[in-house]
Amino acid sequence: MGFPLHRPRRTRQTAAWRRMVRETRLTTDAFIYPLFVVPGRGVRHPVESMPGISQLSVDEAVKEARATAAAGVPAVLIFAAPEEKDAKASAALDPKGLAAQAISAIKDACPDLVVWADVCLCGATDHGHCGHVVPGTATIDNDTSIETLAHVALNYARAGADAVAPSDMMDGRIQAIRQLLDLEGHQLTPIVSYAAKYASSFYGPFREAAESAPAFGDRRAYQMDPANVREALREVLLDVEEGADLVMVKPAGPYLDVIRQVRDAVKVPVVAYQVSGEFSLIKAAAQRGWIDERAAAFETLTGIHRAGADLIITYYAPDMARWLSE
Ligand code: PBG
C-alpha cells in the first residue's frame, strides 16, 4: 500500500506547492526584541559576543524602539544595566532609575509598541545574583527576594510597562507580584512569567550585554536543571495558578520538547526565548562563512514555533521582520 502509490514528493515539487502545504508560518506578529539599556547619552556600545547588538543609552534605545516599531515588530523587552549596584538592588527600585527611565521614554515615543520589562535583581545587585544573598553565605534567600521583586515590578508598571516579566526563578514570585500590582491599582498589567528557565550555558553573551554575571557561584540553586521536563510542567502550572498571564520556556532551541509539553498543558500563551548563545552561535558561524545566516535564523525560529511557542523573544526580530517582508 505504500510506494509506488504514495509519493510524498508530489506536493513538494514547486515553491507554490510547498507554500500551500506548509504547516508552520512565521509572522512578525510573534516577535519580541530585547533592548539593553546603559547610562549616558548617545551611547551605542557594541556587545562583542553578539554582533549587531549594542548596549544603548536611553535616547538611543528610544531610536531603536522607533525603528523596531516601524519594522512591524510589536514588542520590545527592556533590560537595564545601571551603574550603581548594591545589595538591595536599589537602582531597580528607583522610580528615576535607568530601567524606569527607559520604559517611560520608550512608551512616550512609541505608545503603540508593547513594552515588556524584565524584572530581576541581577542587573542591579553588586553580586549579580537574581535575589538577595543571605549575609555570610552563598545562599539566595527566596522570601525576601520575592518582596523586592514585587516592588521592582510595581516600579516598572508605574513607569508605564505594558507587562512585567520576572526572570529570577524564585518560588512564589508570581503571586507576590500579582498581589502588589493589584493592591496598587495595576490589575491590568499582565505578568509574563519566565516559568521554565534553565541554568543554561547559552546565557554567556547576555551576561556581557546586561553586565549581570554572578560574582560567585552560579544560578543552579534557583534556575532549572537542563535534564528536567516534568519539573518544567510543575513550574508552569504553579505560575499559571499564581496568576501568570503568559508563560515562558528559556532557552528555546535545546528545549523544544519542553515547549511542546508546556503548549499542550496550559491555555495561556506560551513564549520561548531564543537566547543570546543561540543567536551568537549562528552569528559566529555565519561570519566565518560556515552557515547561511538567514536560512539558519528561519529554520531555528520555525522549529521553535512548530514546537508550540506562540511568541518568540529573539535578537533576530528586526532582521526577521525585514526578511519576512521581502
Ligand atoms: C536575568 C536574565 C538572563 C537572561 C534573561 N534574563 C541571564 C541569566 O539568567 O543569567 C538571558 C537572556 C539571554 O541569554 O539572551 N535573570
d(CA 164, CA 151): 11
Residue 250 known to be catalytic = yes
How close is the Cα of 203 to the center of ligand 1, in Å? 6
Give the predicted TM-score (pTM) of the model.
Answer: 0.97
Q: Residue 19 Cα, ligand 1 centroid: separation in angstroms?
A: 36
Residues with CB under 6 A from ligand 1: 118, 120, 122, 130, 167, 203, 206-207, 212, 219, 275-276
Q: For 271-303, what is each residue's pLDDT tens digit? A: 999 999 999 999 999 999 999 999 999 999 999
Instruction: Compute the C-alpha angle 199/205/209, nearest 5°.
Output: 110
The gap between the terminal CA atoms of the chain, to the nearest Å, is: 42
94, 104 Cβ separation under 8 angstroms: no
Task: Return the pLDDT at 210.
Answer: 87
What 3-state DSSP class applies to 326? coil
Q: At what angle do helices 173-183 and 142-159 cross, to 10 degrees?
A: 40
What angle, rounded to 10 degrees, do the helices at 173-183 and 230-242 form? Answer: 20
The ligand 1 atom nearest the CA atom of 213: 10
User: If you average pLDDT over residues 113-124, what whole number do you get?
Assistant: 97
CA of 114 to the centre of ligand 1 (A): 20
Determine the pLDDT at residue 189: 98
In which residue are the cell numbers 504553579 written? 238
Whether pLDDT at 323 is above 90: yes
Mean pLDDT of 92-102: 98
Q: What is the pLDDT of residue 1?
A: 81
How far does residue 15's CA lie from ligand 1's centre (Å)?
Answer: 39
Q: What is the DSSP letter of 135?
A: T
pLDDT for res 293? 98
Phi-psi region of 128 (alpha: psi -120 to 50; beta: other; left: phi over 0): left
Parallel, antiparallel, or unpaired: how do β-strands 246-250 and 54-56 relate? Answer: unpaired
Task: Supply the pLDDT for residue 208.
Answer: 87
State the average pLDDT over residues 132-136.
93
Q: Is 204 exposed, middle or buried (0-12, 13-18, 19+ CB in 10 A)?
A: middle
Residue bearing the CA closest to ligand 1, atom 8? 203
Q: Select from 32, 55, 211, 275 the residue to mutate for testing ligand 1; criterion: most ligand atoms less than 8 Å from CB.
A: 275
Q: Please report, for residues 99, 193, 261, the alpha-carbon distance to residue 268 in angstroms, rounded to integers and kept in the order given.
A: 27, 11, 13
Predicted pLDDT at 211: 85
Q: What is the mean pLDDT of residues 152-178?
A: 98
Mean of pLDDT values over 173-179: 98
Residue from 85, 107, 250, 283 carrying the catalytic annotation? 250
Q: Which of 85, 96, 107, 197 is catalytic?
A: 197
Query: What would the pLDDT profile of 201-248 be if each residue is shown by its tens digit?
Result: 999 999 888 888 899 999 999 999 999 999 999 999 999 999 999 999
